[in-house]
Amino acid sequence: MAKKKTNSDSSISKKTKNDVAVGVVGSGSFATAIVKMLVENCKTVHWCVRNEFVKGAIELRGHNPTYLTAVNFNLKNLKLTTDVNELVTACDVVVLATPSIYLSDTLDKMTCEYKDKIFVSAIKGIIPKVNDVVAHYLKEEFQIGFRNQAVIAGPCHAEEVAMERLSYLTVATVEDETSQKLVNIFNSDFIKVNSSKDILGNEYSAILKNIFAIGAGIASGLGYGDNFTAVFVSNAIREMETFLEAIYEAPRDVNESAYLGDLLVTAYSLFSRNRNLGNLIGKGYTVKSAIQSMNMVAEGYYAADSIYKTAKQKKLELPIIDTIYAILYEGKNAEKQFKKLTAKLN
């Protein structure tokens, strides 16, 4: 069993934390929450937002006009831009927090020097352009090796960060120095940070838990209760372990917070957009109408296709993944599919 090091009590001085040149790319709810985390420790946080409207609104009112609007920022702590090259040039640490479906459009504009930068993925989805995870996308498309990468995992809902409710992050990176730097800039009174070296395991688990959360939501919409959901999640964590071992063997314990904890909060929480998507489908919405009714991206929908096909290539038996794929992409009836699934769970 892999033992994870907790780094909540950092001995690094405040001045050292404040000197880190860090930026966030993205202006959704989790990107906004990450900016809130970083301003706790950093004198200046660079923030690349979607467009001039968002930039102007934040500069005028001190908060994101669309997401987590209750979070007010001291504008002296922010350097806003809509130019990804301006942000990357200015920063040593670049946190990527766009929805996965928009990342390639954003990074395709990156023409500046980025060789020595650290890229941190807070994205929990598959990149459609390459049908792969962010870690592989950065490595293959931009030659950014794992030594210059990190992955952020939960459990950490943006809405609870906004309310400064105690939340936990896991930062996965292979370099100890990078790990310590990231722990220092994220750790605060309401954010506790753990470290891991399982980059791919943390990234894939964050993707898988979104798919499973859609299933938990479907079950809720269909009228299944807490007893079934408990069995469903118990089976889901086993499917996650099976998938992770087939994709990338590493010393890991899926009962740790970055795996099981993130799965639990995403499957149960009313803040979970993936659970909410599933709940609408369970209540009778078509998949298309359920997606259109949401104002945020549910990453699990886009990831389910890729994960299902990868599982089939690996010849993995994953009944929950199969069921959710059939509902989302084959137009199968949710009630009938879940009735079949109940016979396969234990």
Q: Which residues participate in catalysis according to the annotation?
A: 209
Alpha carbons 334 and 44: distance in angstroms, whole number: 48
Query: How far apart, in Å, are the Cα atoms of 303 and each of 133, 150, 169, 261, 292?
Result: 10, 20, 22, 20, 17
Annotated binding residues for substrate: 124, 273-274
3-class secondary structure, 47? strand
Annotated binding residues for NAD(+): 158, 273
Residue among 276, 300, 277, 273 nearest 287 (CA): 277
Tell me the backbone φ, ψ of residue 279, rounded to 5 degrees.
-60, -40
Other beta carbons within 10 angstroms of residue 223's beta carbon come to: 10
Alpha carbons 145 and 137: distance in angstroms, whole number: 10
Tokens of 209: 């838990």
User: What one-letter code names the amino acid at 245?
Assistant: E
Residue among 100, 55, 102 nearest 211 (CA): 100
Pairing outcome for strands 167-172 and 149-153? antiparallel
Number of H helices, E strands in the chain: 16, 8
Continuous H helices in the chain: 14-18, 29-39, 52-61, 84-90, 100-107, 134-142, 158-162, 176-186, 199-222, 226-247, 262-268, 273-282, 287-292, 299-313, 319-329, 334-342
Annotated binding residues: 124, 158, 273-274
Tokens 């803040």 correspond to: 271
Rounded-to-5 percentages of helix, strand, coil across the chain: 50, 10, 35
